[in-house]
């Protein structure tokens, strides 16, 4: 991609707070884009806790890949992986967004995505589920797995 086409390319990101779909120049991604409605950060390298409706909307509409961690508070491996997931989110800040979905609070998500074990990582890109992984991973493994599946 040439510098001119990068500057003219538009990215779309769904605000994980209010649900607004935001469009902005791809060249501005590193500047920390904010939602045009509520002002929250759109790609700040933090993990957002969301529900099924937000997950489906972002997975369907976003230009950046979206990695969802389906977990539960009672799950030991899920709790152990949480800081690793957050670390990977910071590392991949400009390449993917990271979200968590509590399967106890949103049991419909476990049914919708046929989750049989947690933690379950679902990687969405270009409106489709690209890959999934069951079981805990370290930050370096998550980062490598995402890079392998989006490059």
Q: pTM of the entire structure?
A: 0.91
Topology classification of domain 45-150? Glutaredoxin (3.40.30)
Q: Averaged over 47-76, what is the pLDDT?
A: 96
Helix/strand/coil percentages in the chain, nearest 5: 35, 25, 35
Residue 98 has which token pair? 């990271």
Q: How far apart are the first and last CA of the chain?
A: 14
Residue 70, classed as helix, strand or coil, is strand
Average pLDDT, the chain: 92
Q: Note if 35 is an active site residue.
A: no
| The pLDDT of residue 6 | 46
Candidates 15, 18, 35, 78; catalytic one: 78
Mean pLDDT for the stretch of residues 56-61? 96
* Residue 5 pLDDT class (50, 70, 90 cuts): very low
Residues 6+ apart with CB under 8 A from 67: 89, 96, 97, 98, 99, 121, 122, 123, 124, 142, 146
Does residue 63 contact residue 11 with C-beta atoms inside 8 Å?
yes
Q: 75 an active-site residue?
A: yes
> How confident is the model over 91-146, as pLDDT tens digits?
999 899 999 999 999 999 999 999 999 999 999 998 999 999 999 999 999 999 99
Domain positions in the chain are 45-150
The CA–CA distances, whole Å, from 93 to 29, 101, 130 equal 10, 19, 19
Calculate the CA dihedral of residues 128, 57, 66, 112 and round it to 10 degrees: -60
Which residue in 15, 18, 38, 75 is the catalytic one?
Answer: 75
């Amino acid at each position: 991609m040439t510098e001119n086409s990068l500057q003219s390319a538009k990215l779309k990101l769904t605000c994980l707070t209010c649900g607004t779909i935001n469009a902005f120049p791809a060249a501005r991604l590193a500047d920390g884009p904010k939602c045009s409605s509520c002002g929250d950060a759109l790609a700040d390298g933090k993990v957002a806790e969301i529900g099924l409706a937000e997950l489906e909307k972002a997975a369907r509409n976003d230009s950046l890949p979206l990695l969802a961690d389906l977990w539960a508070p009672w799950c030991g491996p899920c709790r152990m992986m949480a800081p690793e997931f957050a670390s990977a989110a910071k590392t991949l800040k400009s390449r993917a967004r990271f979200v968590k979905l509590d399967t106890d609070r949103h049991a419909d998500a476990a049914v919708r995505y046929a989750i049989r074990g947690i933690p379950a990582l679902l990687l969405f890109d270009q409106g489709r589920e690209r890959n999934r992984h069951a079981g805990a991973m370290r930050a370096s493994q998550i980062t490598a797995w995402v890079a392998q599946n989006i490059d």
